[in-house]
Every structure is written in C-alpha cells, then in structure tokens.
C-alpha cells in the first residue's frame, strides 16, 4: 500500500541509476551522426552534378534540332534533381526542430513538421512523375519522327506503357508505404497534444 508522496519520491530516487557513459564516447557519437548526414548530402550533390553532366553530354553529342527535345531534356533533369534532392535528405533543413522549447510548443512543432513532410512527399512524388513523363514525351518527338510512323508509335507505346505502370501501380504503392507510418505518427502526436488540453 502506498501512503503518501514521500513514499513515491523515495522509491523514485531509490534504485534507478545508470553510470554516466564516458563523455568522450558521448561526443564521438554526436560527431558520427553529423558526419553521416554530411556524407549523404555530399553524395547527393555529386549525383546531381553527374546527372547534369550526363545530360549536357547527350545535348552536345547528339545536337538536338527541335525545341521539344531541349525542353524535354530540361524537364528530365529537373525530375531527376527533385528525386535526388528528396531521397538524400538534402531538404533536412526544412525539418529542423527546436528541442529546447516547452513541451506543448514542441509537440505543435513536431506535428507541423510531420504535416509538412506528408504534403511534400505527396506533392514531390506527383511533380516527379509529371516532369519525367512530360519530359520523355517531348524528348522522344524528334527521334520518333526519325524512326518513322510505325516504330515511332511502338517506341511511344512502350515508354508510356511503362510510365502508366509506374503511375497507376508503383506510385500508389510507394505512397502507401511511405505515408502510412507518417500518418500514424501524426495521429499519435495529435493524441498526445490532446492530453495536455485535458
């Protein structure tokens, strides 16, 4: 039977302890986490540069004549850039939180960040597919006309068959996989926020 506050307080402080880990190890850990984030960022930047070099090379080497081809190339680069930027957490700065505010504000902040993340994921994924398929369609016009009507048509059918598969099958599946845990987190955060109001 628990009688009063003092009993609870005595129990609380009484037995639970863990030796403080060595301070150097602790700070090494902080350094490792930072370094990993930085490496990912560098890798992302490198990929972006390489992609752009490759497309520039295509542009110079094949000397497209039609404007549609050039616009197509630009759209494809953009879609790739968007993909790399989001997949290598280069947008991390958008999601930085302030861990030293009070709990109520921190919860509101976490919730806002997660909602922003959800919105961004949805928007960016749509943008990526629209730019990529639009870019490919434009890019192919010049070469499809060279192939003649029949092969040109086949080339378009194959390309857009694949894009349709990606849009109607792969995209919703990926979205479900990415958004389900995020929605769960948002739901839990809202619940915790309610606790403070009660």
Partner 1 sequence: MQDFKEIYEQYWSRVYRLCMGYLNDAAHAQDVAQETFVTVWEKLPQFRGESAIGTWIFRIASNQCLRQIARDKKMPRSAMPGEIAEKSEAAPEGKIAYLYKAISELSETDRIIISLELEGLPQAEIASIVGISEGNVRVKIHRIKDKLTEKFKHYDGQ
Query: By C-alpha distance, which of 123, 103, 114, 133 is closest to 187?
Result: 114
- By beta-carbon proximity to partner 1, the closer residue of 28 and 52 is 28
Whole-number Å distance between alpha carbons of 81 and 75: 10
Query: By C-alpha distance, which of 143, 138, 95 is closest to 118?
Result: 95
- What's the closest the beta carbon of residue 182 comes to partner 1, in angstroms? 9
Give the residue, chosen from 93, 100, 146, 149, that forms a contact with partner 1 under the rule CB under 8 A: 100
Restricted to residues 70-99, the positions that interact with partner 1 (CB under 8 A) are: 99
Question: In the block, which residue shows the tokens 């987190």?
Answer: 185
- By beta-carbon proximity to partner 1, the closer residue of 7 and 168 is 7
For partner 1 (CB under 8 A), the number of binding residues is: 45
Q: What's the DSSP call for residue 20?
A: P
- What's the closest the beta carbon of residue 10 comes to partner 1, in angstroms? 10
Q: Number of C-alpha atoms within 13 angstroms, CB side, residue 149?
A: 0
- What's the closest the beta carbon of residue 44 comes to partner 1, in angstroms? 18
- Tokens for 193, please give them: 């926020």
Restricted to residues 5-64, the positions that interact with partner 1 (CB under 8 A) are: 5, 8-9, 11-23, 25-30, 32-33, 36
Assess 124 for contact with partner 1 (CB under 8 A).
no
Assess 148 for contact with partner 1 (CB under 8 A).
no
- What's the closest the beta carbon of residue 126 comes to partner 1, in angstroms? 23
Assess 185 for contact with partner 1 (CB under 8 A).
yes
- By beta-carbon proximity to partner 1, the closer residue of 63 and 195 is 195
The per-residue DSSP string of 80-132 comes to HHHHHHHHTTTTGGGG---TTS-HHHHHHHHHHHHHHHHHHHHHHHHHHHHHH
Residues near 136 by Cβ (< 8 Å), separated by ≥ 6? 72, 76, 159, 163
- Tokens for 105, please give them: 């504000």
Residue numbers at the binding site for partner 1 (CB under 8 A): 1-2, 5, 8-9, 11-23, 25-30, 32-33, 36, 99-107, 110, 114, 181, 185, 188-189, 192, 195-196
């Amino acid at each position: 039977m628990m009688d009063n506050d003092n009993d609870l307080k005595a129990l609380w402080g009484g037995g639970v302890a863990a030796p403080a880990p060595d301070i150097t190890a602790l700070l090494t850990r902080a350094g490792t986490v930072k370094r990993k984030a930085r490496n990912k960022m560098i890798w992302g930047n490198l990929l972006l540069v390489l992609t752009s070099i490759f497309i520039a090379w295509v542009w110079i080497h094949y000397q497209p004549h039609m404007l549609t081809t050039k616009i197509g190339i630009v759209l494809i680069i953009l879609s790739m850039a968007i993909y790399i930027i989001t997949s290598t957490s280069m947008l991390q700065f958008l999601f930085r939180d302030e861990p030293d505010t009070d709990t109520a504000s921190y919860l509101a902040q976490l919730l806002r960040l997660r909602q922003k993340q959800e919105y961004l994921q949805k928007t960016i994924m749509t943008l990526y597919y629209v730019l990529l398929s639009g870019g490919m369609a434009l890019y192919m016009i010049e070469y499809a006309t060279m192939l003649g009507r029949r092969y040109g048509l086949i080339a378009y059918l194959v390309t857009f068959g694949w894009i349709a598969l990606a849009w109607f099958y792969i995209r919703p599946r990926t979205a479900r996989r990415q958004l389900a845990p995020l929605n769960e987190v948002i739901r839990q955060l809202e619940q915790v926020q309610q606790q403070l109001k009660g």
